[in-house]
Amino acid sequence: GIQVEQSPPDLILQEGANSTLRCNFSDSVNNLQWFHQNPWGQLINLFYIPSGTKQNGRLSATTVATERYSLLYISSSQTTDSGVYFCAVGGGADGLTFGKGTHLIIQP
Amino acid sequence: SQTIHQWPATLVQPVGSPLSLECTVEGTSNPNLYWYRQAAGRGLQLLFYSVGIGQISSEVPQNLSASRPQDRQFILSSKKLLLSDSGFYLCACGLGGETQYFGPGTRLLVL
């Protein structure tokens, strides 16, 4: 099956810093999503981005489908950005394959 | 937009006992429904998915089963729980293979 690798696995930053999270995948996909899992376990949709670039406030994402990677940018980090960020890929109705996530800690 | 409900929120069960977790969806019809499990706080694994009533596909062989008795109801069951069934179970809803939305999850601890 398709492989999804996320890097870095852990990231500790000071409040106000910028960060870039990376997701590499092993095959072409029709669906790529970024999620933020909050401390209560809820998975919050950030982006549906199988290709191209999107921005939402301080967050933006870029997927280069031909090179099989996606990047999530977080600017001016806040402590509420802490949590685990997941990249997940898939196609059709078969469900998503998740990476192992990036554990982000933003220190005040 | 769709809303996904899951219950119970938390559950502690003895080994060998049965299990029934329920997921219901509001705000959409004929969705694709999914059960995922997350162990040790990292990575989600797809367990089952359904494209319609009575249609269940399993991704991995395991001690669990799923059923979809109604269009917007998805149930995860087990006849006898194992210690390894402990984890965080998430139900998700998707339309046409695009964005999937997740419910709040059920934390299961098997003792």
- Give B-chain residues touching A43 at CB under 8 angstroms: 90, 102
What span, in angstroms and rounded, lies between the C-alpha atoms of B27 and B66? 22
The encoded tokens of residue B13 equal 């069960």
Q: Which of B34, B38, B98 sits opposite A95 (nearest CB)?
A: B34
Residues 23-42 of B with CB under 8 A from A: 32, 34, 36, 38, 41-42
Q: Which residue type, as a one-letter code, is found at position A82?
A: S
3-state secondary structure at position B83: helix
Q: What is the mean pLDDT of residues B62-82?
A: 95
Residue count of chain B, please give it.
Answer: 111
Contact A70, A34 (CB under 8 A): yes
Q: Peptide bond before A50: cis, by omega within 30 degrees of 0? A: no
Query: What pLDDT band is residue A29 in, cutting at 50, 70 and 90?
Result: confident
**Interface touch A98/B94, C-beta < 8 Å:** no
**Closest Cα partner for B33 from B21, B18, B42?**
B21
Q: Taking the alpha carbons of A14, A15, A17, A23 in that order, is the dihedral positive or negative?
A: positive
Average pLDDT, chain B: 92
Q: Distance of alpha carbon A62 from its chain centroid, rounded?
A: 10
What span, in angstroms and rounded, lies between the C-alpha atoms of A21 and A38? 17
Q: What is the pLDDT of residues B26-58, one digit of tens each?
A: 998 889 999 999 987 678 999 999 999 999 998
